[in-house]
Amino acid sequence: MTGHRSRAANVHSPRSRVSVSRGMGETGLMGSTAGAEPVPAGSEKLATQVARQLEDEIIDRTWPVGEVLGSELELQERFGVSRSVLREAIRLLEHHHVARMRSGRGGGLVVCAPNPSSGIRAMVIYLEYIGISVGDLLRARLLLEPLAARLAAEAVTEDGIDRMRAILGQEQIGDPDRFSDNEFHVALGRLSGNPVLPLFTEVLTQLTYRYSRHPPRDAAAAALPDVTAAHAKILDAVTAGDAAAAQTRMATHLAEVEAWFLVHRMHGPSQQMRTRPDDPKPDELPGRKLGEIIAGRIHDDITGDGRQIGEVLGSESELLTRYGISRAVLREAIRILEHHNVAQMRRGPRGGLVILAPDPTASIHTIALYLDHQGVRYDHLHMVRETIELGCIQTVTTAPATPGTAARFRAARDHATDSGELFHAELAELAGNPVLTLFLRIITDLWARHSRTERAPAPAAETEVRRVHDTILDAVMAGDEGLAQHRMRRHLQTLTTWWH
């Protein structure tokens, strides 16, 4: 287990925790998982509720990897559910790489170390579907990656320097068919010591790489020496512990990348899924269940063939033939696709696997679980959240203010509860960057997960949150970027004391 936390400071009581952020698209269960209370029926599927309670128990116990939570029969009795419901819950846990069922003597539900690959893959596909531009990507990178470079320079070790130099050495070989600087940027994010940054960087670099495969091969080849030289300068600053220079050089490098994309015409935002990944598939790795691999292949067929929402990909019998698999494997794959709202099996004469508009909620939950296991701390969340929200304020205050802008903010304020997350979500929406909006949803999910206490917030605190939101809104509407950022920064610092 990495990054153990103090339970008093960071881990909620099982009876008080809400498993996902309120107001962000999903409602979690409340209640203890330690006793034998049956799971109540609710808006979520029963199996999902069981899976969430088991996830909460694992988090409360600080991820006891390798420990058995109970046999199938014991878990059925604890939650008061049927074998089929429990097995579906276990499939969800296995998909999130939170736990797996081990058969045989001494078997049962075993706690695992989670893997972010399925969540990252789903996030990338979701962002491609809703339509993002190179500007959206580079704006997000310009906010987050200079921060990662600065933190890396402050925390770098000799082992870290050796790893980065090895990556740079591979880059200097130069292969235009692999025009990607993903590994350097993600590795630098890891050196930052903030587990949120490399994960977000991986999403951003994967999306950037998909765009970068479209220019002519000679343009990519010509750019490689400049990319490698920029990376070398950044690494020199990191190695020297010069945080300011590392931050500045990273920002300069990303500005040059953006300029390169503007010169070499890229495809713009699209309203449909369109890109078939031609990299080795990250989900076809040892240890992956066949159902997950097939779900990934169906994902690729949907995105690569430009399928439309509502279109039927095929009947069950057609899919069985197309993928050469058993009915049990296909149904497991479909459960995964339905969990991520990518596709759904419709019964009847005109039935089949129907394509849906992807929803990131399940992916956000998967990523939150992974970061929790990585030992994400409140200061990690605060640092990234502040960077994103101040960047959103900069965008919103430079745009012409309209009465509609103020109305949207006030509506979000009036409907918000607790720390007013809907107000913050509306700020991200108005900034018009889907990447930052998605990242903020992940941060606020974790923020809520790690900041609840056994006592409900006082009404006076909620009133004060609304008052502060009004002062931020006043500065935004006046176009006063500096004051709006100052008020947001102080507000987020205050939330830390209120909700920690």
Residue 286: pLDDT above 60?
no
Q: Can you tell me the mean pLDDT for 173-181?
A: 57
Residue 176 has pLDDT above 70, yes or no: no
pLDDT at 161 over 80: yes
Q: What is the mean pLDDT of residues 98-105?
A: 87
Among 81-90, 266-275, 473-482, which stretch is predicted with the lowest mean pLDDT?
266-275
Cα distance between residue 453 and residue 375, in whole Å: 19
Asked if residue 24 has pLDDT above 50, the reply is no
pLDDT at 243: 97
Lowest model confidence (mean pLDDT) among 37-51, 391-405, 473-487:
37-51
- CA 60 to mean position of chain CA atoms: 21
- pLDDT reading at 306 higher than 50: yes
Residue 307, sorted as left (phi over 0), alpha (psi -120 to 50) or beta, turns out to be beta
pTM of the model: 0.75
Q: Phi and psi dihedrals of 355, rounded to 5?
A: -80, 130
Average pLDDT, integer, range 130-146: 91
Determine which helix (DSSP H) or strand (DSSP E) holds 418, and give its type and residue range. Answer: none
pLDDT band at 200, cuts 50/70/90?
very high
The whole-number pLDDT of residue 343 equals: 87
Question: How far is it, in rounded angstroms, from Cα 5 to Cα 385?
Answer: 20
- pLDDT attached to residue 150: 98
More confident residue, 5 or 116: 116
Average pLDDT over residues 108-116: 89
**By the 8 A CB rule, do 211 and 134 touch?**
yes
pLDDT-derived band at 151 (thresholds 50, 70, 90) equals: very high
Which range, of 28-32, 104-108, 167-171, 404-408, averages the lowest pLDDT?
Answer: 28-32
Strand partners, 343: 355
Q: Could you give the 3-state DSSP secondary structure of residue 101?
A: strand
Mean pLDDT of 191-207: 93
Give the range among 7-21, 89-103, 339-353, 455-469 with minimum mean pLDDT: 7-21
**Secondary structure (3-state) at 344:** strand
Name the average pLDDT for the chain: 79
pLDDT at 15 over 90: no
CATH fourth-level superfamily of 377-499: GntR ligand-binding domain-like (1.20.120.530)
Architecture of domain 7-113: Orthogonal Bundle (1.10)
Query: Residues 481, 398: contact at Cβ < 8 Å?
Result: yes
* pLDDT of 457: 54
- What is the distance between the alpha carbons of residues 73 and 63, in angstroms, rounded to a whole number? 22
Is it the case that residue 440 has pLDDT exceeding 50?
A: yes
Q: Which amino acid does the sequence have at 102?
A: R
CATH superfamily of 133-263: GntR ligand-binding domain-like (1.20.120.530)
String of DSSP letters for 125-174: HHHHHH---HHHHHHHHHHHHHHHHHHHHHH--HHHHHHHHHHHHHHHH-
Q: Do domains 7-113 and 290-355 have the same CATH topology?
A: yes
Mean pLDDT of 58-69: 90
- CATH number attached to the domain at 290-355: 1.10.10.10
The pLDDT value recorded for residue 280 is 40
pLDDT of 434 reads: 92
pLDDT at 337 over 60: yes
What confidence tens digit (pLDDT) does each residue in 208-265 have?
Answer: 877 665 555 567 677 788 889 999 999 999 999 999 999 999 999 999 988 888 777 5
Ranking 142-146, 236-240, 350-354, 358-362 by mean pLDDT, the lowest is 358-362
217/475: higher pLDDT: 475
Spell out the alpha helix ranges (H) of 213-286. Answer: 217-239, 243-263
Per the DSSP assignment, residues forming a β-bridge with 111 are 99
DSSP symbol at 178 = G
| Residue 273 pLDDT exceeds 50 | no
Cα(411)–Cα(426) distance, integer angstroms = 9
Which is higher by pLDDT, 298 or 245? 245
Written as six digits, the tokens of 118 are 């399925």
At 40 the pLDDT is: 47
pLDDT attached to residue 491? 92
Tokens for 337?
């696709």
Domain limits, the chain: 7-113, 133-263, 290-355, 377-499
Q: Give the CA distances from residue 304 to residues 270, 275, 296, in Å, rounded to whole numbers and listed in that order.
A: 13, 5, 12
Please give the pLDDT value at position 302.
79
Confidence tier at 271 by pLDDT (50, 70, 90) = very low
Q: What's the DSSP call for residue 109? A: E
Inform me whether the pLDDT recorded for 32 exceeds 50.
no
User: Measured between alpha carbons, how far apart are the two ends of the chain, in Å?
Assistant: 22
- Tell me the Ramachandran region of residue 174: left when phi exceeds 0, alpha when psi lies from -120 to 50, beta otherwise: left
Contacts of 407 (CB under 8 A, 6+ apart): none
Confidence (pLDDT) at 386: 96
Look at residue 450 in the predicted model and tell me its pLDDT: 66
- Would you state the pLDDT for residue 378? 87
